[in-house]
Structure 1
Amino acid sequence: MMGGALTKLKIDTYKDDTYSNSSKINTDAFEAFINPTSFSMTYKTKHNTDQANGNSKASLGYIASPPSDLQLEFLFDGTGVTQANPGNKLINTIAEKLGKKDAFVKKAVEKQITDFYNATGKLDGTIHKPYNVVITWGDLHFKGILSEFTIDYKMFTNEGKALRAIGKAKFSESISKELAAKEENKQSPDLTHKRTVQDGDTLPLMTDRIYGDSKYYLEVAKANGLVNFRQLKPGSELYFPPIEKIS
């Protein structure tokens, strides 16, 4: 099994469903303290189910593809058991800096849930709605809005403070018509692609996936400031500029 840096699920926040750089809000971005225990995708297709009189069977006609749903399940932990996992050193680092490990543990679950909800569900008064979000983790890249969030509290201190909770979040896909049109045409000259490097990825291979041709890999390397493009670091992010800018 090949090793590499632990990639954390990240939620970037936006004012609207264009997901443009000008609408991005950096202050409330969320990075998972512990990666999701599971996630699932639901895809839907709407058909016309009308059946002609006298027919025992119906021929379903395609109407539309409604927005897909993403279900994520998080573990919010404040027990300190993650110390044994070298990929979750953040809790220990913060605790040591505070000098009060017990105090941190008691507040950890509450803070994690608050940070998550601030990024996904809290009403922002300046835009009169919660944020649109882009969720990235490995091959997962989902654009949408939070539609449901359920928290199951599991463990408590003697004072009744939560030590562990399971958060179940449902996101519904939400993309502007303009952006959807661009994404359906992956060769769109004015669409910038961002991808997370996986084990085994090479720049020519990734370039071929994005543009349908690997010949642009040197231009992509230049755009990302790569000195040695033959050794890509798993978990790092690469930007693939619009074709018209590199061809």
Structure 2
Amino acid sequence: MSVNKAKMVSEILGLGGGGGELHKLTIYYEQGGVQRQGSIEALFNPSEITLTRSAKWEQQETVGQSTALVEQEFRSVEAERFSIELFFDTYESRSSGLTAARAAATFLPAGLISGREATDVRQYTDQIARLAKVDAELHRPPVCELRWGVFDIFTGVLTTLQQRFTMFLDDGTPVRATLTCEFAEVGTQAHATELHSSDVIKTRQVRRHDTLQSLAADEYGDPALWRPIATANGIVNPRDLRPGTRLTIPKLQP
């Protein structure tokens, strides 16, 4: 009788249901050459995943006011980040099926173990590590898609990988590892917003040494386009620009 170790341990730890087929979290990754896509199946499904999205705001200085007024100017939406811990354990018998007690025992504290009832866990962890290396055909690390059954979790690139080996055979062969992986989003419309777009209305707080020309260069890429800023803010004398003044930066008309 064969025993599905991943399914048994997942059920013992509450990581998967016992009523139907246990789907594995799978990482699909692009490859150069003839084979266009590879895949890596998790040995054990994770107990949790974390998705992080952040927006960048810049605090503006308040000048010449008796009461401090904190204002925030929106700058960009950062790429979403995805983090996950993947567990790998190859300490299993080659000659007999795995019992529930043996499956649970693989989660005992780390240390050295005797015998040769295991294979090197790096045969699995090295597959993940390669996702952070340059593909010879792509000339960069691959873009990955992470899926778990019906859950299309994330599309991105592996930016950080920490490998922690916690159990070894008496000859030093690692048989248990936890990989902490962090991916950064790619391939969607949620990347950082262009800060100097000329087709949206924004505001800017005047700082020391700012001029209408320098603001136009920052916002529109052309210092000669200062007049729309002057008109939108009722500025008659372009030299009379006081630090701390908040200006409307209009979008350019086509």
TM-score w.r.t. length of structure 2: 0.53
- Partner Cα separation in structure 1 for residue 47 and residue 181 of structure 2: 12
Do the aligned partners of residues 103 and 180 (structure 1) sit closer, same or farther apart at CA in structure 2, a change above 3 Å counting?
farther
Q: Give aligned-pair identity as a percent.
A: 21
Aligned length: 155
- Find the residue that maps to 2:87 and give its secondary structure: strand
Q: Which has the higher helix share?
A: 1
- Partner Cα separation in structure 2 for residue 148 and residue 173 of structure 1: 13
**Which residue of 2 is the match for residue 105 of structure 1?**
118
**Structure 2 segments unaligned to the other structure (5+ residues):** 1-16, 104-114, 191-254
Whether the 8 Å contact between 1:37 and 1:74 is mirrored in structure 2 is no
Do the aligned partners of residues 84 and 50 (structure 1) sit closer, same or farther apart at CA in structure 2, a change above 3 Å counting?
farther
**Which residue of 2 is the match for residue 39 of structure 1?**
49
Cα deviation, residue 3, structure 1? 2.3
The alignment status of 1:180 with 2:193, answered yes or no, reads no
Do the aligned partners of residues 5 and 44 (structure 1) sit closer, same or farther apart at CA in structure 2, a change above 3 Å counting?
same
- Which digits, 9 at most, give the CA deviation of each residue in 1:129-168, with x for residues without a partner? 1100011125352111011111111010011000111111
TM-score w.r.t. length of structure 1: 0.55
The alignment status of 1:83 with 2:93, answered yes or no, reads no
The amino acid that maps onto 1:31 is E
The amino acid that maps onto 2:122 is E
- Partner Cα separation in structure 2 for residue 111 and residue 172 of structure 1: 25
Cα deviation, residue 105, structure 1? 2.3
Cα deviation, residue 103, structure 1? 6.5
The amino acid that maps onto 1:30 is I
**Which residue of 1 is the match for residue 248 of structure 2?**
none
The alignment status of 1:5 with 2:21, answered yes or no, reads yes
Whether the 8 Å contact between 2:91 and 2:117 is mirrored in structure 1 is no
**Structure 1 segments unaligned to the other structure (5+ residues):** 17-22, 89-101, 182-247
**Residues 54-73 of structure 1 aligned to structure 2 (within 5 Å):** 54=65, 55-73=67-85
Whether the 8 Å contact between 1:12 and 1:24 is mirrored in structure 2 is no
- Find the residue that maps to 2:79 and give its secondary structure: coil
Whether the 8 Å contact between 1:37 and 1:75 is mirrored in structure 2 is no
Whether the 8 Å contact between 1:133 and 1:145 is mirrored in structure 2 is yes
What RMSD in Å do the two structures reach over aligned CA positions? 3.0
